[in-house]
Amino acid sequence: MPINQYFYSMIMQLHMYLVLILLSFVLNLQGAPALPSSDISENQYVHNPERNDQFNGDDIVPSPFANALTE
């Protein structure tokens, strides 16, 4: 087999593999579940477990340095 034919067949195989890889990426992206836009706009509140609305500060536990200046 001449060298030119060898390189040509190698390039064609690489091209075929590249096309198959790109096609698999496209199919995976199309099959991915997507959130409807209505779910995003309706629920803008994100629960923060560190926030307690009944506490007068921003955190559940006060900063350890809160009383440092008064002592």
Q: What pTM does this model have? A: 0.36
Name residue, tokens 């706009």: 41
What confidence tens digit (pLDDT) does each residue in 33-51 have?
Answer: 655 555 444 545 566 666 6
Of 31, 30, 28, nearest to 20 by C-alpha is 28
Structure tokens at 60: 């559940």
Per-residue pLDDT at 69 exceeds 90: no
Per-residue pLDDT at 68 exceeds 70: no
